[in-house]
Amino acid sequence: MSRDKVIKENFTKLQQKSRAAWESLRERPLILVGTATCGRAAGALEILKVIKEELAKSGLEASVLEVGCMGHCYAEPLVTVYKPGFPPICYGYVTEGIAARLVQDFLGGDDPCLEFALAALEANDMVPAFTDFPRGMIEKNIILDKCGLIDPENIEHYIALGGYAALAGALGRDPGQVLEEIKASGLRGRGGAGFPTGRKWETCRLAPGEEKYVICNADEGDPGAFMDRAILESNPHQVLEGLAIAAYTVGARQGYFYIRAEYPLAVARVKKAIEQARQAGLLGTNILGSGFDFDVDVFQGSGAFVCGEETALIASMEGEPGLPRHRPPFPATAGLRGKPTVINNVKTLSYVPHIVERGARWLRETGTDGSPGTAVFALAGKVINTGLAEVPMGTTLREVVYDVGSGIPGGKAFKAVQIGGPSGGCLPESALDMPIDFDSLSQAGAMMGSGGMVILDEDDCMVEIARFFLDFTQKESCGKCTMCRLGTRQMLDILEAITRGQGKPGDIELLLELAEDVKAGSLCGLGKTAPNPVLSTIRYFRDEYEAHIKERRCPALMCQSLIAYYILPEKCERSCDACVGSCPVEAIYTNEDRIKVIDQQKCVKCASCLEACPPQYKAVIKLSPPELVNEMGA
């Protein structure tokens, strides 16, 4: 029997077994509970417990599965119920009471409890589906398509829904053909820089040497980004399959997942996925009878942002401090232990099985010419629908913020979108109609980055956000290059002074000058991009810098040294003392008119009183500059 026939036969057996298991699961009602880290933070494990208890109490027959993240993180905890005769319905903001009712009334009776439903998973006549909403028109799920719908700890679910077919297909072909497919697809690295994946693989494939490595870079260090975590927690097999195909293509026999230690659940789920793949014969020696040997280990990162950079990542795997080195030689020719090494981001590898399965042309149908495929964003900050979104490249920022994200909560005004983490920049309203792809974003002074998108509204100070990112990069600078180590320190000192109201005329010009020097004098991406948040905020929000420097005023009322909290006497309800109780330092007292007053000496500016004051009074306000308090009293 020929080699590809053997592979096909072995895989078909695996597929049939998995499909049978998956279908038997669907014979009974099925309840999915999203227990990725975001769901757990919202209490998903308690919901899971309640559902199991209720099922036991009622004696109803149903399967309960823990699944990953569907991307609708704003509505966590999420529960999805499959019941024969009904469309699959997803419920959001589930409390223990709602969970109990879903079991009693929906499973026990026939009331689908539509008052708690978020949407149905597929179009039907009963409940609006996710695809009926504006975001459904824009989103296109390729690498998130199974996230939240399968048990990430069960390989059979992944296989039953078409998983590992791409690996089986690739193993039956010549590695060179697989490489051509990836090259033709125009896939670009989703870690941030957008380097063509096919070219990276080709370099490694052609590099001399028997021993080669493939590494999945899951050191997602950008604050504000959680796409990689969600994918690893929700569908680890997809990434593992991509890694195995990469290994087959370049000729590697050993692979690694480099995962941040801050993601314990992702580490656990990936380890389990590797173990299951080994048992199923999809990893190890002679995979599916193809004669190809490949195994994978997990290496946990140790909390250094710079290790997301390829050469620093390799240094840390070799037991050294994570200092980047000069390139070339690139890791594709001399990487881990000096051997040719391909390092790809989680999302990049996630596309690989889809491309191999459906072809290069299929990927090019989505997205733009220069950036085919989709972009995955983690929406966070001042946006209603926080969570994950996968949209075709070329979608505008406005569509992502307003249609997918449903806009800004609380009727506030949009100010900027911070994209690309500490290496990216802040884009204002005027840039919202720009299509998102690798090239247009870098022209606008931001960058694609790994996909973190933080939306900022009128209450966010742009100087403060620049200071925040620089504080991060300054702390995370490994210290190798002088300009990065000391230049960012100088810039940070200036920014801190500005946010404290101690800025001097000429500070903005000095920042611009230092920014250019830091860019020019740094070896790796961390230093080269560290000034971007400062540069982009000066470019688009120079007036805010000037207000801080010239008027000692924070227009967004955010910089703590430049604001004071004040209770408007005419609005204070007098008999209410919500603010008094909320104050952690007892800075609020009642005066002879029973009006509450803040003792400015004691106030720690924690905003508790502002939040505690009932919305019908809105008596607590922020003032900037803080000296205004004296004028108000007079």
Min CB(557)–other proteins separation in Å: 13
**Of residues 105, 122, 174, 320, which one binds other proteins by CB under 8 A?**
320
DSSP class of residue 40 equals H
Quick one: 307 or 360, whose CB is closer to other proteins? Answer: 307
**Of residues 264, 291, 506, 614, which one binds other proteins by CB under 8 A?**
264
Min CB(169)–other proteins separation in Å: 33
Residue 244: what residue type?
Answer: A
Where do the DSSP E strands lie in 325-433? 341-345, 374-381, 387-392, 414-419, 425-428
**CB-CB neighbours of 612 under 10 Å:** 17
Quick one: 230 or 619, whose CB is closer to other proteins? Answer: 230
Contact by Cβ (8 Å): 384, 74? yes
Quick one: 473 or 522, whose CB is closer to other proteins? Answer: 473
322 binds other proteins (CB under 8 A): yes
**Which residues pair with residue 474 across a beta bridge?**
none
∠ Cα 438 444 449 (to 5°): 40
473 binds other proteins (CB under 8 A): no
Helices marked H in 235-309: 236-250, 264-279
- Specify the stretch interacting with other proteins by CB under 8 A; choose among 39-47, 77-85, 149-157, 511-519: 39-47
Min CB(617)–other proteins separation in Å: 18
Quick one: 344 or 418, whose CB is closer to other proteins? Answer: 418
377 binds other proteins (CB under 8 A): no
- Specify the stretch interacting with other proteins by CB under 8 A; choose among 73-81, 208-216, 282-290, 500-508: 73-81
Quick one: 134 or 321, whose CB is closer to other proteins? Answer: 321
Min CB(378)–other proteins separation in Å: 6
Helices marked H in 337-461: 346-358, 360-364, 397-398, 438-443
**Of residues 164, 472, 540, 565, which one binds other proteins by CB under 8 A?**
472
Min CB(581)–other proteins separation in Å: 8
Q: Which of residues 527-566 bind other proteins (CB under 8 A)?
A: 560
40 binds other proteins (CB under 8 A): yes
74 binds other proteins (CB under 8 A): yes
Min CB(277)–other proteins separation in Å: 21
From the list 281, 540, 565, 557, the residue with the least C-alpha distance to 417 is 540
Using CA atoms, how far apart are residues 212 and 596, in angstroms rounded to an integer?
70
317 binds other proteins (CB under 8 A): yes
Q: What would the x/- binding string for other proteins be over residues 75 to 114, using CB under 8 A? A: -x--------------------------------------
Min CB(450)–other proteins separation in Å: 12
**Of residues 57, 337, 489, 504, which one binds other proteins by CB under 8 A?**
337
153 binds other proteins (CB under 8 A): no
From the list 421, 422, 373, 375, the residue with the least C-alpha distance to 396 is 375
Burial class (CB in 10 A: 0-12, 13-18, 19+), 295: middle
- Helices 462-476 & 532-551 angle (0-180, nearest 10): 130
Using CA atoms, how far apart are residues 209 and 213, in angstroms rounded to an integer?
11
604 binds other proteins (CB under 8 A): yes
Min CB(265)–other proteins separation in Å: 9
**Of residues 147, 179, 304, 494, which one binds other proteins by CB under 8 A?**
304
Structure tokens at 570: 């005419």
373 binds other proteins (CB under 8 A): no
Q: How many of the chain's residues bind other proteins (CB under 8 A)?
A: 65
From the list 161, 71, 206, 204, the residue with the least C-alpha distance to 357 is 161
- H helix or E strand, kind and range, residue 622: strand 620-623
For the range 283-290, what are the long-range contacts, defined as Cβ-Cβ under 8 Å and sequence gap of 24 or more? 283/240, 283/244, 287/167, 287/171, 287/244, 288/6, 288/7, 288/10, 288/11, 288/167, 288/168, 288/171, 289/3, 289/6, 289/7, 289/9, 289/10, 290/3, 290/6, 290/7, 290/171, 290/172
625 binds other proteins (CB under 8 A): no
**Of residues 24, 286, 302, 590, which one binds other proteins by CB under 8 A?**
302
Contact by Cβ (8 Å): 557, 622? yes
Structure tokens at 564: 């004071």
Quick one: 245 or 380, whose CB is closer to other proteins? Answer: 380
Quick one: 607 or 621, whose CB is closer to other proteins? Answer: 607
Residue 519: what residue type?
Answer: K
- Helices 264-279 & 227-234 angle (0-180, nearest 10): 40
Quick one: 312 or 619, whose CB is closer to other proteins? Answer: 312
Structure tokens at 380: 């966070």
Quick one: 171 or 336, whose CB is closer to other proteins? Answer: 336
458 binds other proteins (CB under 8 A): no
**CB-CB neighbours of 23 under 10 Å:** 10
Q: Which of residues 571-600 bind other proteins (CB under 8 A)?
A: 582, 584-586
* Interaction site with other proteins (CB under 8 A): 37-38, 40-42, 73-74, 76, 220-226, 229-230, 261-264, 299-300, 302-305, 316-322, 337, 378-382, 386-387, 418, 421, 452, 454, 456, 460, 465, 468-469, 472, 476, 478, 560, 582, 584-586, 604-608, 611
